Amino acid sequence: MRVGIQILSQVVCLVDSPKGFRLFGMNWLQLFHLAAQSIQRIRSASGAIKAFVFYFLMTFRTLNEARWILGPLLVIWILGFLFYPLCTLPITLALAFTVYFFRDPERLTPSDPKAIVSPADGKVVSVEEVEETEFLHKRMQRISIFLSVFDVHVNRAPIEGTVVHSTFKKGAFFDARDPRSSMANQSRSWLFSDGKNQVVVRQITGAIARRIVAWSQVGDKLQKGERFGMIRFGSRTELYLPLDAKIEITVGAPVRGGQSVLALFS
């Protein structure tokens, strides 16, 4: 016991003296700083890796929705390259545009709890007071957004909250810029609630876009700006807000899903 205490005392004295302990030409204090820096670098690298993996998974999810067109195009491109190389240019352009269309960029979502962000990329085509007939059955403010084939078609939650309802409705395929598309076209409606406020998002197909994809389901709790679905090719997205919400956007303005503030809760 006494011998153990003496050895421990000598070790403590040795470590306590910057000149008494050296490894690779560094004293214990320098080694401590080096270890701390190494841990910080590992943590930073780990965060970057996690971010990369998350972005890869999100991109793969959207590209997976394009498998029905990417697969045939890729087969045609390979056959063309083997037998008619000069004919592969239009197929290459089609492949490139398909990958571009199904892109899913990251967005910086505002932290203001009162902010209601856009559920889609595109251009605001109307802001009006209407009757919401799907879930709440009352007068609300509706912001309609048209998505061209050049816009990102991933839809994002306008508020932080829970998916209370989600309903799919079959219908027609009018051009998404046609006012009739709002009620007549095939659509999926979502009711989001944060416990105090309720908003409705309606994904609407167009003349070209004929498939609505749902990634979330009833009961899911989503962060503001989190992805919940997408519409393939040109389409329309509508956001229904309480009458006392303050609209922060005008008709004709371009918006980005999960980033542009469309309105503020009172």
Which residues on neighbouring strands pair with residue 151, listed in sequence order? Answer: none
**Residue 235 is a catalytic residue:** yes
Q: Which of 142, 144, 154, 148 has the alpha carbon at shortest distance from 124?
A: 144
Exactly one of 118, 182, 235, 260 is catalytic; which is it?
235
Q: Please list the active-site residues.
A: 235
